[in-house]
Amino acid sequence: MAAVHAPGATGGWRRWLGYAALVFFAFVFIFPFVLSLVSSFKTLPDIQANPVQLWADPEYGGWTLEGIEGLNTQNVRLPRWTVNSTVVTVIATLGRVFLASLAGYALAKMSYPGKQILFGLIIVLLAVPGVVLLIPKFLILKQLGLLNSYGALILPLVFDAFAIFLMKQFFEQLPDELIEAAAIDGASAWQTFSRVMLPLAAPGLIALTILSVQGIWNEFLNPLIAVPGAPELATLPLGLANVRAAFGEAQPWNTILAGSLITTIPIAIIFFVFQRYFVQGVAATGVKG
């Protein structure tokens, strides 16, 4: 007679296997961050001898603060780079959210000739790799006389095709009856947008803000072409890359990793604090097929 297995036992094994798979993949994703944290407090000989070891070897000097202390040298201008990154991130994020909201609302709820063509161009732009646009961006910034200025760092990041697409998809979820009711009450187009539709788009705005802060804070290619002759305007990613280039083959990996860790921590805090709102915003946006 064939043995009968209890359904609960089978479900329990599947659940534990699922947990084990989640823990494994979580470890895979977290391991580089933990390795960077540990390597920031190791000596350079220790990093060279044991690159993936998650503890400091006493044979090579054990735990040390020389990586953190290296951030206070002449080649590393961490406070200035942090200020530059903060200024660029705040202004570019505010501008992107504002303009993307306007454009997304216009594409989702307004009727005018050529709307579908404009939306098609945005979709095409999403398919273009960002590196392809670097030379055109550089030439435009040079022609406008904006190179080596905060304007060159900020303006190219304000306009983002994905941000427009995201807000369009969100505004499409809001019923048209709200616009009709506002028109009956005598509201203008701007009043309808700013007082009726925009407050209802708060989840989408929060999701876009978090994505924009993360992307702009970590942006490397745009500062690379925007301020080639103004090292004092370098942001954190660009500044740390220049530090690595300045040392040639003798890389101060503990200092570079310590700087990278400091760059990562603010974004990690923002994401964990606003994680619930970010998930709600993305779920509410509901990208249509």
229 and 147 in contact (C-beta within 8 Å)?
yes
Q: What does pLDDT average to over the chain?
A: 84
Give CATH superfamily name and number for 75-285.
MetI-like (1.10.3720.10)
Mark out the alpha helices in 40-114 (DSSP H runs): 44-49, 66-69, 78-109
pLDDT, tens only, 31-71: 888 888 888 888 888 888 888 888 888 888 888 887 777 77
Cα angle 241-55-25, degrees, rounded to a multiple of 5: 75
What is the distance between the terminal CA atoms of the chain, rounded to a whole angstrom?
51
Helix (H) / strand (E) containing 117 = helix 115-126
The CATH 1.10.3720.10 portion of the chain extends over 75-285
**Lowest-confidence segment of 67-76, 98-107, 168-177 by average pLDDT:** 67-76
CA of 182: how far to CAs of 112, 191, 192, 193, 211, in Å? 20, 8, 6, 10, 31
Which of 9-18, 144-153, 239-248, 258-267 ranks highest by mean pLDDT? 144-153
Model pTM score: 0.80
pLDDT, tens only, 90-120: 999 999 999 999 999 999 988 889 888 998 9
